[in-house]
Amino acid sequence: MERKQLKIESRLAQIGSMEEQATGAVNFPIYQATAFRHPKLGQSTGFDYIRTKSPTRQVLEEAAADLESGDAGFACSSGMAALQTVFALFSQGDHLIVSLDLYGGTYRLIEKILTRFGISATYVDTNDMDALEQARGPHTKAVIIETPTNPLMMITDLEAVCSWARHNELTSIVDNTLLTPFFQRPLELGADIVVHSATKYLGGHNDVLAGLIVTKGKELSEEMAFLHNSIGAVLSPSDSYQLMRGMKTLALRMERHEKNAASIAAFLKEHSAVSEVFYPAFSDHPGYEIQIKQASGNTGIFSFKVKDSRYVEPLLRHIKLIAFAESLGGVESLMTYPAVQTHADIPLEIRQAVGVDERLLRISVGIEHADDLIADLDAALNAAVTEVEGEEGGV
Q: Is 143 exposed, middle or buried (0-12, 13-18, 19+ CB in 10 A)?
A: buried
C-alpha–C-alpha distance, residues 237 and 60, integer Å = 10
Q: Which of 200, 305, 359, 362 is catalytic?
A: 200
Residue 5 has pLDDT above 90, yes or no: no
- Provide mean pLDDT across the span 135-164: 97
Task: Find residue 336's DSSP bridge partners.
Answer: 362
Q: Which of 51, 108, 248, 269 is catalytic?
A: 51
C-alpha–C-alpha distance, residues 271 and 194, integer Å = 37
In this predicted model, what pLDDT tens digit does every residue of 6-25 receive, in sequence order?
Answer: 999 999 999 999 999 889 99
Q: CA dist 223 to 11, 85, 165, Å?
A: 27, 11, 19
Domain ranges for the chain:
3-247, 250-387
- pLDDT for the residue numbered 1: 67
* Average pLDDT of every residue of the chain: 95
- Assign 392 a pLDDT band (cuts: 50, 70, 90): low
Residue 57 has pLDDT above 80, yes or no: yes
Q: Contact 294/157 with Cβ under 8 angstroms?
A: yes
What percent of the chain is modeled with pLDDT above 90?
89
34-67 burial by CB neighbour count: b if 16+ within 10 A, else e? eebeeeeeeeeeebeebeebbbbbbbbbbbbbbb
Residue 179 has pLDDT above 70, yes or no: yes
Q: What angle do CA 23, 27, 31 make, to 5 degrees?
A: 75
Q: Contact 367/329 with Cβ under 8 angstroms?
A: no
Q: Contact 227/89 with Cβ under 8 angstroms?
A: yes
Q: Is the bond preceding residue 148 a cis peptide, omega within 30 degrees?
A: yes
- pLDDT for the residue numbered 104: 87
CATH of domain 3-247: 3.40.640.10
Q: Contact 333/309 with Cβ under 8 angstroms?
A: no
Q: Which of 101, 157, 175, 239 is catalytic?
A: 175
- pLDDT for the residue numbered 391: 72
C-alpha neighbours within 13 Å on the C-beta side of residue 157: 12
In this predicted model, what pLDDT tens digit does every residue of 271-316 receive, in sequence order?
Answer: 999 999 999 999 999 999 999 999 999 999 999 999 999 999 999 9
C-alpha–C-alpha distance, residues 134 and 144, integer Å = 16
Of 362 and 347, the structure prediction assigns the larger pLDDT to 362
Residue 394 has pLDDT above 80, yes or no: no
- Provide mean pLDDT across the span 320-336: 97
Kindly give, in sequence order, each residue whose CB lies less than 8 Å from that of residue 15, ignoring residues fewer than 6 positions away: 59, 60, 63, 244, 247, 248
Asked about 362 being catalytic, the answer comes back as no
Task: Find residue 143's DSSP bridge partners.
Answer: 97, 172
- pLDDT for the residue numbered 364: 98
Q: Which of 53, 94, 101, 103 is catalytic?
A: 103
Task: Find residue 75's DSSP bridge partners.
Answer: 212
- Provide mean pLDDT across the span 105-109: 93
Fold assignment, 250-387: Aspartate Aminotransferase, domain 1 (3.90.1150)
Q: What 3-state DSSP class applies to 376?
A: helix
Task: Find residue 289's DSSP bridge partners.
Answer: none
- pLDDT for the residue numbered 395: 44
Asked about 175 being catalytic, the answer comes back as yes
Residue 377 has pLDDT above 60, yes or no: yes
